[in-house]
Amino acid sequence: MNRVVIVGASAGGLATAETLRRAGHTDAITLIGDEPQLPYDRPPLSKQLLCGRWTPDRLDLRSATDIDALGLELRLGARATELDTARQVVTLADGGDVSYDALVVATGARARRLPGTEGVGGVHTLRTLPDALALKERLRPGRHLVIVGGGFVGAEVAATARALGVQVTLLESGPVPLALAIGEEAGRFMTRLHHEHGVTIHAGAAVTEILRTGGELTGVRLADGTVVLADDVLVAIGSAPNTEWLAGSGLTVHNGLVCDEYCTAAPGVYGVGDVARWHNPLFGTAMRVEHRTNAAEQGMAVARTLLDPEARKPFAPVPYFWSDQYDTKLQAYGHLGDHDEALVLDADPASRKLLVAYRKADRLVGVLAAGKSPKLLRAWRALIAARSPWTTALTTTAA
């Protein structure tokens, strides 16, 4: 197979490299990452790192010694700017070329920004370690943080900021925070938690202007004219896959790098992690999953395909994610975002217990829970993996 080049040195890229080495690939592996740090873990950025409980070194995915032992050609702080699939060459920002026999695209996603706010003082996004450290510096008791976007990043930062004594206003463009991801009822369950912890929530809110006085950020203006005062603004309106460098490569890009069920984008080119939109045969649909576990699983799957193409298997995982907010841990299995029905089986805000099952057509496609036993969750996961019909699943789990 010769030289494998992996572009993207976060969880997905690292898992690919590590699996290749472990399974006996002795030829060259180049791991290219645009950030200067060794691969680090992102989920704690909005939680343990932001609240100050962990220092940045706890985020390292592997020790420097472990990384050394992999014998990689490590190109950190190097951004890929262009791909030529005919010549099989990746071009880097410094003008250098890296040629490959097989290419793994694991460039992840970046935080979306509000138009015109790039580089504006006091306006933050949260995706990288420097982002988190910059925001952390600003979160002091009594300060006011406005969070634009009621998704998981926004909701987790709201919880962390409240624990630090920060005044928090959460602006959600839809009717209910988190509803896009987990449905309205589950979203309301979490909204209630945020209210209890003193977060001010504006639903149906659209920011029209960042207000500044003498160069200092003072607040935001909403479409209905409301002014919300702020010392800082976190823009948490989702992420965009890093695919710009693939323009002109001939690869198909459509909200992510389009891949088949083997995560193949073109002969010898594979997609891994947040950047990849691949066909998941378990759900019979294309999906792009921006969750930590999927990045590692997909990297391992692609590495196995690279090592033994004849024995390749479709990548058909049951996606998993979790979210920690206050004393509540949400956990989910499956493909929730595209559901026809979210059936609340248990919702007790007082005891922080929640169980929601998700239906698409006549199938169980997802489950979301808080405060439930691991055994119960694993039983639900097994039903999703088995493509259980909705009625069968509800009967089985009720028994």
Identify which of residues 61 and 67 has a Cβ nearer to other proteins in the complex.
Answer: 61
Closest approach of other proteins to the CB of residue 310, in Å: 20
Question: How many angstroms separate the CA atoms of 262 and 8, rounded?
Answer: 19
Q: Residue 220's Cα: distance from chain center in Å?
A: 27
Identify which of residues 267 and 375 has a Cβ nearer to other proteins in the complex.
Answer: 375
The token pair at 75 is 């190109």
Which residue do the tokens 């891949």 mark?
259
By C-alpha distance, which of 79, 153, 82, 167 is closest to 112?
153
Q: Which residues bind other proteins (CB under 8 A)?
A: 15, 18-19, 22, 41, 43, 58, 61, 291-293, 296-297, 300, 320, 322, 324, 329, 331, 373-375, 377-378, 381
Identify which of residues 213 and 373 has a Cβ nearer to other proteins in the complex.
Answer: 373
By C-alpha distance, which of 237, 233, 208 is closest to 144?
233
- For the chain, the farthest-separated pair of C-alpha atoms sits apart, in whole angstroms, at 65
Closest approach of other proteins to the CB of residue 323, in Å: 10
SS3 at position 375: helix
Closest approach of other proteins to the CB of residue 30, in Å: 20
Count CB neighbours of 66 within 10 A: 12
Question: Phi-psi category of 190—alpha, beta or left, where left has phi over 0 and alpha has psi -120 to 50?
Answer: alpha
Closest approach of other proteins to the CB of residue 356, in Å: 17
Identify which of residues 18 and 34 has a Cβ nearer to other proteins in the complex.
Answer: 18
Identify which of residues 58 and 254 has a Cβ nearer to other proteins in the complex.
Answer: 58
DSSP-derived pairing of the beta strands 232-235 and 144-148: parallel
Closest approach of other proteins to the CB of residue 303, in Å: 10
Angstrom distances, CA of residue 141 to CA of 144, 168, 218, 395: 9, 11, 17, 49
Closest approach of other proteins to the CB of residue 361, in Å: 26
- Return phi, psi of residue 300, to 5°: -65, -40
Identify which of residues 172 and 324 has a Cβ nearer to other proteins in the complex.
Answer: 324
